[in-house]
């Protein structure tokens, strides 16, 4: 065996060891790119919890799955319950409470994010409703209703705890807001840094609105010739808004101006693993989108998953 042949296996071992060190240092390979959910789960919402914990909800059963984006493993936290649905959801780290939009039930469900115990359920509307998504601010939780031109509000105490009794308010949407009867209207919702305004996106026509959280007066955000058709869940990071466009299998990236009255769609994120994604959460530099697979007839064996996406730098 010549000297070069002797060095090759040693060099291979060194390169392998170096790659392991680099992967461990960056943490890049430590996170799964696809996280399986239980077969037949029919998910829609996802929420970031503490550390690397995430929550995902089942549309027809109301069940909530809690997992870890680092290990890709998890288990059912809230079991399926008759008369409950889980659509959009958010976790409040101040109190450990998980808030869930209850879809056609017209309710909001509130769970202990550690034990899964039911804390409260709040009837937001007695009329035909689809409570779709929500956002938590310093002193309130706001919900979209895709079947009515309103948003719903659950006031919170100054420390984020629930008042006793828990009450809700309905805020009619006005101004530029266009409501299309029989369609899925207001969907994703986010709060602006001032705490007094909200961003609400319309699935039916792709419009984005800046909404006064007190009066409900909506001002359409100028996107130029851009459209957010099929908009579902949204995520605001600074002045960047990520918008899941479900049946288009993509996430639009919108750069907003200083006062959140105008914006430009600057990028579109795609992934071969997308199968009608609906909502997203952020962990570190990565986005995690849940596949609802609305184009696939659900069966007990239908596979569902969460897909990791890295925004372009």
Predicted pLDDT of residue 195: 84
Tens of pLDDT along 213-251? 999 999 999 999 999 999 999 999 999 999 999 999 999
Residue 287 is predicted with a pLDDT of: 98
Q: What is the mean pLDDT of the chain?
A: 91
Query: What pLDDT score was predicted for residue 27?
Result: 41
Average pLDDT over residues 114-120: 98
Q: Residue-wise over 127-148: b if at least 16 C-beta within 10 A, else e?
A: eebbbbbbbbbeebbbbbbbbb
Mean pLDDT score, 130-154: 98
Least confident of 8-22, 215-229, 269-283: 8-22
In this prediction the pTM is: 0.90
For residues 207 and 10, give the distance between their C-alpha atoms in angstroms, rounded to a whole number: 60
Q: Are 249 and 276 in contact (CB under 8 A)?
A: yes
| Residue 313 pLDDT > 80 | no
Q: Which residues contact 218 (CB under 8 A, 6 or more apart)?
A: 173, 174, 175, 176, 177, 200, 209, 210, 211, 212
Q: What share of the chain is helix, strand, coil (3-state, %, to 5)?
A: 10, 45, 45
Enter the DSSP assignment of 162.
P
| pLDDT number for residue 1 | 46
Per-residue model confidence as pLDDT tens digits over 154-189: 999 999 999 999 999 999 999 999 999 999 999 999
User: Does the pLDDT value for residue 264 go beyond 60?
Assistant: yes
Buried/exposed code over 17-38 (b: 16+ C-beta within 10 A; e: otherwise): eeeeeeeeeeeeeebbeebebb
What is the per-residue pLDDT across 85-96, written as a single tens digit (0 to 9) for each? 999 999 999 999
More confident residue, 116 or 28: 116
> Domain 31-233 sits in which CATH superfamily?
YVTN repeat-like/Quinoprotein amine dehydrogenase (2.130.10.10)
């Amino acid at each position: 065996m010549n000297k070069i042949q002797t060095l090759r296996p040693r060099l291979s071992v060194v390169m392998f060891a170096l790659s392991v060190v680099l992967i461990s240092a960056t943490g890049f390979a430590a996170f799964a790119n696809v996280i399986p959910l239980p077969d037949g789960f029919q998910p829609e919402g996802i929420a970031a919890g503490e550390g690397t914990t995430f929550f995902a909800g089942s549309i027809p059963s109301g069940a909530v799955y809690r997992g870890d984006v680092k290990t890709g493993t998890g288990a059912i936290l809230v079991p399926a319950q008759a008369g409950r649905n889980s659509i959009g959801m958010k976790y409040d780290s101040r109190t450990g409470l998980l808030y869930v939009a209850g879809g056609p039930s017209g309710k909001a469900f509130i769970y202990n994010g550690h034990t899964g115990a039911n804390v409260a359920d709040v009837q937001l509307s007695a009329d035909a409703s689809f409570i779709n998504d929500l956002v938590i601010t310093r002193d309130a939780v706001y919900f979209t209703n895709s079947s009515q031109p309103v948003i719903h509000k659950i006031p919170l105490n100054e420390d984020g705890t629930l008042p006793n009794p828990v009450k809700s308010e309905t805020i009619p949407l006005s101004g530029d807001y266009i409501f299309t009867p029989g369609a899925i209207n207001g969907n994703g919702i986010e709060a602006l840094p001032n705490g007094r305004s909200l961003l609400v996106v319309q699935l039916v026509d792709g419009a984005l609105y800046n909404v006064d959280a007190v009066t409900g007066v909506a001002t359409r955000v100028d996107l130029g010739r851009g459209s957010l058709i099929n908009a579902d869940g949204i995520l605001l990071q600074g002045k960047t808004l990520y918008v899941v466009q479900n049946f288009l299998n993509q996430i639009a990236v919108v750069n907003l101006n200083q006062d959140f009255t105008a914006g430009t769609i600057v990028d579109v994120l795609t992934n071969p693993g997308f199968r009608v994604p609906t909502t997203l959460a952020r962990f570190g530099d990565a986005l995690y989108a849940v596949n609802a697979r609305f184009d696939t007839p659900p069966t007990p064996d239908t596979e569902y998953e969460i897909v990791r996406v890295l925004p372009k730098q």
